[in-house]
Structure 1
Amino acid sequence: MYYPHFGLKEPPFKITPNTDFFFSGGNRGAVLDALVYAIVNGEGIIKVVGEVGSGKTMLCRMLQTILPERVESIYLANPSVAPEDVLDAIAFELQLDLPKDADRLKVMQILQAHLLKRHAEGRQVVIFVEEAQGMPLATLEEIRLLSNLETKQDKLLQIVLFGQPELDVNLNETHIRQLRERITHSFHLGPLQTKDVGEYLIFRLRAAGYHGPHLFTAAAIKRLSGAAEGLVRRVNILADKALLSAFAENTFQVTPKHVKAAIQDSEFGSKLKSNWTYLFGMILVIGLLVGLVAYVWMISPYSLKIDHTANAISAVRSSVKPMPEKNTVAAVVKKNANPVVSTDTASKLVAGSPLVSASQEKSVPVANQVVTQSIVVDKQKPVQQKASVASVPIVEPVTVQQTVQTVETKPVEKLAQKPIETTQSLLDSRFEATKSWLSSGSPDQITLQIKSLRFGEQFNDAQLKTEFDMTRRQLGVENLYVYRKKQGGENYAVILYGVFKQRSEALAALNKLPSQIKNNRPYLRTLAGINKEVEQGQ
């Protein structure tokens, strides 16, 4: 639309990687040269990390373009490849003819023979793995094993991993440390600086056929660079919309006003606004907290005085002994054990009192410290014999073994054990269902592996119950399958979800999983692959 207006022959800011528009500034050219050197002369595994939209795919396409002819490259763009399928995927990219129903060992032998043949011809094979941060760790470990294919002098296969910063987090896992140690070259694609953004814009315009002065003003470049955060893909999106905005006003230069319109029309423009709102809210909350702390600090001397006064009043009250009431006979017993005081003696002192009945002759439990037992005398009838506190005989205390605690805790223990027993029974039923499915299901059936629990030398049943219970609350229990395996001398428990006939159905179910489950990086598994894994662990 705006191309003739600015004297352009083609779109300058398409987000589809085009090697004719590769920008060597911003350290991109230096990284490309280093990658070529590492692939041709290096050994081991190479890693390239950069944020979303930083230019990793463009770098990968450039490598495929400028590598020497003797280097044969293959490209894995799908990260959700199961460990048992990755060898078949590589063989497919190399156009190898595999026998029908070939097992993993057979595929590895055919692959090794092909690599040895290429090496004898003086050729190299390199595999580019895109979006490696989304690849299951077990699949990455399977790829690492491919790096063991070598002759006495050279590696038969070079591996280059392209991924987002999450790839570094995954590689820091303890059980993947062998892969991390094999990485001999690591590169990082940082964001473009404002100066680099200006050079990038005019470079793309020139490549698209523009011959005039810079279309973007310095202020527009600065604002565009800040909004794009130096990410190449965002720069392309904003530059394209800014040119369209300038064309709509029939002007031949892009100003900050046009960039502002482009930002407002972009998806990440709302994110920038929300970031400022969040920052303002945080500043406000911090200010309120500082004010609250200052207020508490200012009134703290007064609160201390009030506390001291309250403590003094409590001490005075506790030191004053209460006066005995009229018509009351008190028996005071002070013992460390749990005593029992009989009221029989007190009842004999008050003859003829209708308030002292036979039911009061039962033993009365008394507290550990000081207990007062009072018997009220009916005022209407005279007391035949006066008794003072000193004349009341005290019955020797009898130590009683308390059983209240045991009686109270029994039902509590039963209540606490009930959900554990329920979870255990559900887990046992899913173990049986999985065993039946693995033995009778079709080898082509597909499932989703959503969790793999690593226990070490011994299984942790409590942890498995907890993880299973959390998973069933999110996905239900009917479609969950659980099995145990051994790998590398360590015990694992694997939780699967669903059984699907078609890969498309499994991918649709994968996309509908809750975000908390997706954080575990679930991926597709076949029944045949699971059975192989179980057999190898036995």
Structure 2
Amino acid sequence: MYEQFYSLTGAPFSLLPDADFLFLSRRHSRAVNMLEYGIFTQAGFMVITGDVGAGKTTIVRRYIKNAAQDVRLGVISNPTSVSGRLLDWVCQAFDMEVAPDQDEARLYHQFVDFLVKQYATGKRAVLIIDEAQNLNAEKLEELRMLSNVNNEKDQLLQIVLVGQPELLEILKKPELRQFVQRISVHCHLDTLTPAETMAYIYHRLSIVGGASNLFDDRACATVHFFTGGVPRLINLLCDQALVYGYSEDQTRISSQIIAEVAQDRDASGLSPFLKWPSGLPFYETAPEIEGILREVHRALSDEAKL
């Protein structure tokens, strides 16, 4: 819709978790490296957590896209629908045929044979479970028992759990203390800093050929105010701001347009964005925005000194 007007080759702020758009903030870069390190060093369990919209799934998509040829991947992306035996779902994630009403002991041996064959051909089996906060303690304990196929020398199965902070609360339960002892890697994704929010916006624009000044510094600071640095909310706000700008023939996105989008959503009663201080009109040089700008410029100045 607005792509041609702003000379873009595509939509820069899609809500879909596209690995090509992954922005490597300090925490995101660490999560990527920790995940790759854990799999390379045959860690049994790895955990990546973060709030809704923090970019967890995008990191997983990046790993899946770039996975080495010696990795056999199985992915469960919606464990909410997992009912009955978890082993059935794990086998299906690896494209194994599971006969209806198959005896659990026989299925377990079939799965172990599958892992041994992968290992014999030089492949590592990696199971990734996204939205893992939807697994209860019983299912997590099943995963721990399943990991017993590993021995002291060889990791036949590596498991990556990706989930919201609620997953950590589940893992703190006393009955899961043995599970926690097997977690070799854990990384939590924080929200973006003001400077990272600006870099994130410029990064996504650059991928689709957008001008770096399409969003000026003050507009980026306003985006950070209303989104708190949550990547998904940044995408949502910036995408709608481009629609507003296009509809008004604005060649640049100003902080006023950003605020208008956020306040229109607030007026609708369906806003995921943070609220502007009650009773105060929005203006570009408001102390709330100036404070974020100063933090951005301070961070950029410190970075330039390194």
TM-score, normalised to structure 1's length?
A: 0.49
Instruction: State the alpha-carbon separation in 2 of the partners of residues 137 and 27 from structure 1.
Output: 28
**2:79 partner SS:** coil
Q: Over residues 17-56 of structure 1, what are the superposed CA-to-partner deviations in whole Å (9 max), with x where a residue is unaligned? A: 1122111234312321221111121322101010000001
Partner of 1:159: 159
Q: Over residues 387-445 of structure 1, what are the superposed CA-to-partner deviations in whole Å (9 max), with x where a residue is unaligned? A: xxxxxxxxxxxxxxxxxxxxxxxxxxxxxxxxxxxxxxxxxxxxxxxxxxxxxxxxxxx
**1:199 partner SS:** helix
Partner of 1:272: 274
**Amino acid aligned to 1:231:** V
Q: Does 1:49 align with 2:52?
A: no
Instruction: State the alpha-carbon separation in 2 of the partners of residues 276 and 138 from structure 1.
Output: 44
Instruction: State the alpha-carbon separation in 2 of the partners of residues 15 and 81 from structure 1.
Output: 23
Q: Which is richer in strand? A: 1
Could you tell me whether the CA contact under 8 Å between 1:21 and 1:204 is conserved in 2? yes
Instruction: State the alpha-carbon separation in 1 of the partners of residues 137 and 81 from structure 2.
Output: 10
**1:4 partner SS:** coil
| Sequence identity (%) | 29
Partner of 1:302: none
**Amino acid aligned to 1:238:** L
Q: Over residues 295-329 of structure 1, what are the superposed CA-to-partner deviations in whole Å (9 max), with x where a residue is unaligned? A: xxxxxxxxxxxxxxxxxxxxxxxxxxxxxxxxxxx
**Amino acid aligned to 2:41:** N
**2:177 partner SS:** helix
Shift of 1:276: 5.3
**Structure 2 unaligned residues grouped into runs of 5+:** 279-306
Alignment of structure 1 residues 480-491 onto 2, 5 Å = none
Could you tell me whether the CA contact under 8 Å between 2:245 and 2:251 is conserved in 1? yes
**1:101 partner SS:** coil
**1:184 partner SS:** strand
Q: Does 1:149 align with 2:149?
A: yes
Could you tell me whether the CA contact under 8 Å between 1:264 and 1:270 is conserved in 2? no
Which one scores higher on RCO, CA 8 angstroms, separation ≥ 6?
2
What is the number of equivalent residue pairs in this alignment? 275
Alignment of structure 1 residues 165-180 onto 2, 5 Å = 165-180=165-180
- Where has structure 1 moved over 3 Å in runs of 4 or more? 81-84, 265-273
Instruction: State the alpha-carbon separation in 2 of the partners of residues 108 and 219 from structure 1.
Output: 58
Change (3 A) 1:166 1:244: same
Shift of 1:208: 1.1
Alignment of structure 1 residues 469-508 onto 2, 5 Å = none
Partner of 1:256: 255
**Amino acid aligned to 2:98:** L
Q: Over residues 252-289 of structure 1, what are the superposed CA-to-partner deviations in whole Å (9 max), with x where a residue is unaligned? A: 1111110011212436647634x956xxxxxxxxxxxx
Instruction: State the alpha-carbon separation in 2 of the partners of residues 199 and 89 from structure 1.
Output: 40
Shift of 1:224: 0.6
**1:154 partner SS:** coil
**What value does the CA root-mean-square deviation take over the aligned residues?**
1.8
**Amino acid aligned to 2:249:** N
Q: Does 1:234 align with 2:233?
A: yes
Partner of 1:383: none
Higher Rg of the two aligned structures: 1
Shift of 1:143: 0.9
Instruction: State the alpha-carbon separation in 1 of the partners of residues 264 and 131 from structure 2.
Output: 28
Instruction: State the alpha-carbon separation in 2 of the partners of residues 47 and 265 from structure 1.
Output: 38
Instruction: State the alpha-carbon separation in 2 of the partners of residues 270 and 130 from structure 1.
Output: 23
Shift of 1:85: 2.1
Instruction: State the alpha-carbon separation in 2 of the partners of residues 202 and 238 from structure 1.
Output: 14
Shift of 1:80: 2.6
Partner of 1:7: 7
Change (3 A) 1:258 1:78: same
**Amino acid aligned to 2:119:** H
Could you tell me whether the CA contact under 8 Å between 2:75 and 2:94 is conserved in 1? no
Instruction: State the alpha-carbon separation in 2 of the partners of residues 82 and 270 from structure 1.
Output: 29
Partner of 1:206: 206
Could you tell me whether the CA contact under 8 Å between 1:49 and 1:165 is conserved in 2? yes
Shift of 1:103: 1.7
Instruction: State the alpha-carbon separation in 1 of the partners of residues 104 and 80 from structure 2.
Output: 18
Partner of 1:133: 133
Could you tell me whether the CA contact under 8 Å between 1:215 and 1:253 is conserved in 2? yes
**1:148 partner SS:** helix
Partner of 2:216: 217
Partner of 2:242: 243
Q: Over residues 155-205 of structure 1, what are the superposed CA-to-partner deviations in whole Å (9 max), with x where a residue is unaligned? A: 110000001111111111111211111111110111011111111111111
Greater displacement, 195-204 / 74-83: 74-83
Partner of 1:102: 102
Change (3 A) 1:222 1:148: same
**2:105 partner SS:** helix
Q: Over residues 344-378 of structure 1, what are the superposed CA-to-partner deviations in whole Å (9 max), with x where a residue is unaligned? A: xxxxxxxxxxxxxxxxxxxxxxxxxxxxxxxxxxx
**Amino acid aligned to 1:89:** W
